[in-house]
């Protein structure tokens, strides 16, 4: 196995996009407000349908584009789905769910890009024990076409992959769906800044139904009045960092589970720690 610090030596590292990754197209509006057009061009929407029907897909999870063929999401977004549901589509380049293309003032984005899953790989130890290893990879049926509104996020390596980020702020974004069984959502991409806190906060909050692991999970949010679940389930926890002289967005967590009463309590949320699964990701992608 490749040590965490040596992910750049893994053959899979060469399959990632390192030059065009992590660049936001615009300034961001933070604080539970609408995100600016193109702020997070790596955010994917995962749509569900009922096999054998032509009905419109129901988008109930988020994901993160890591190269032109792969989206990372939570395992619970692809496993043990409600009866008759299946992952049927992945959409990139979305901002306002009611318009295509999306426009702000006189400036318009490229049209959305839609895909179907060619393959879905959930971590083999998902839910062993409960809520652990909540990560999965979806391979798209064709390569995404990069533009200012569709591009991958950067994956961490070196000193970044060793950081715990406790005490620092990160960003989460999505259309506000927190439960795959409850499709209520915002029509416009929302964004919020959230603090990364010590794991003992989550240990206390969720002690009655799950055992936490600071090696594999992150505890995020938990400040009253600051919405700690501003992103779709399965969506990214992101942080602007400087590595090798370049400042870009890096992929640090995947929305896993948390309090339903967003912003109304001091209960933090659990995110899957991407650093702990980077080698797993690299081992499950191919050209």
**Digit-coded pLDDT (tens) for 220-272:** 987 765 544 455 889 999 999 998 888 999 999 999 987 554 555 677 889 99
pTM of the model: 0.91
Contact present, 194 and 221 (Cβ < 8 Å)? yes
Domains in the chain, ordered, with CATH?
41-152+279-283 (2.40.10.10), 158-274 (2.40.10.10)
The set of catalytic residues is: 76, 134, 233
Contact present, 32 and 192 (Cβ < 8 Å)? yes
Burial track 248-262 (b if 16+ CB lie within 10 A, e otherwise) = bbbbbbbbbbbbeeb
With a CB cutoff of 8 Å and minimum separation 6, the contacts of 193 are 30, 31, 169, 170, 171, 226
Report the residue count for the chain.
287
**Tens of pLDDT along 151-166?**
999 999 999 999 989 9
pLDDT along the chain (287 residues), means of 10: 70 93 67 76 93 78 96 95 88 94 88 97 94 96 96 95 94 75 74 90 86 91 60 89 91 83 68 96 97
Residue 240 is predicted with a pLDDT of 95
Looking at residue 210, what DSSP letter applies? Answer: -
How far is Cα of residue 180 from the mean position of the Cα atoms in its chain? Answer: 15
Q: Which two three-digit tokens encode residue 35?
A: 């995100």
DSSP string, 54-105: -PPPEEEEEEEE-SSSEEEE-GGGTSSPSTT-EEEEEEES-SBTT-SS-EET
Residue 4 is predicted with a pLDDT of 53
């Amino acid at each position: 196995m490749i040590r965490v610090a040596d992910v750049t030596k893994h053959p899979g590292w060469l399959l990632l996009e390192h030059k065009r990754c992590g660049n936001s197209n615009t300034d961001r509006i933070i604080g539970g407000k609408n995100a600016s057009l193109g702020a997070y061009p790596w955010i994917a929407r995962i749509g569900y349908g009922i096999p054998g029907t032509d009905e419109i897909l129901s988008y109930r999870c988020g994901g993160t584009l890591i190269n032109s063929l792969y989206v990372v999401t939570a395992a619970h977004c692809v496993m043990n789905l409600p009866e008759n549901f299946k992952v049927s589509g992945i959409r990139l380049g979305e901002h306002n769910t009611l318009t295509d293309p999306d426009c702000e003032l006189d400036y318009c984005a490229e049209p959305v890009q839609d895909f179907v899953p060619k393959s879905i790989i959930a971590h083999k130890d998902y839910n062993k024990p409960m809520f652990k290893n909540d990560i999965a990879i979806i391979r798209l049926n064709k390569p995404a076409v990069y533009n200012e509104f569709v591009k991958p996020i950067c994956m961490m390596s070196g000193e970044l992959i060793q950081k715990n980020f406790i005490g620092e702020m990160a960003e989460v974004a999505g259309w506000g769906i927190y439960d795959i069984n409850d499709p209520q959502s915002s029509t416009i991409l929302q964004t919020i800044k959230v603090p990364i806190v010590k794991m003992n906060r989550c240990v206390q909050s969720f002690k009655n139904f799950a055992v936490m692991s600071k090696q594999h999970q992150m505890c995020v949010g938990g400040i009253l009045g600051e919405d700690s679940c501003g992103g779709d389930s399965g969506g990214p926890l992101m942080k602007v960092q400087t590595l090798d002289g370049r400042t870009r967005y890096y992929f640090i967590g995947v929305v896993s589970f948390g309090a339903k009463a967003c912003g109304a309590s001091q209960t933090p949320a659990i995110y899957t720690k991407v650093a702990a699964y980077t080698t797993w990701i690299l081992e499950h992608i191919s050209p």
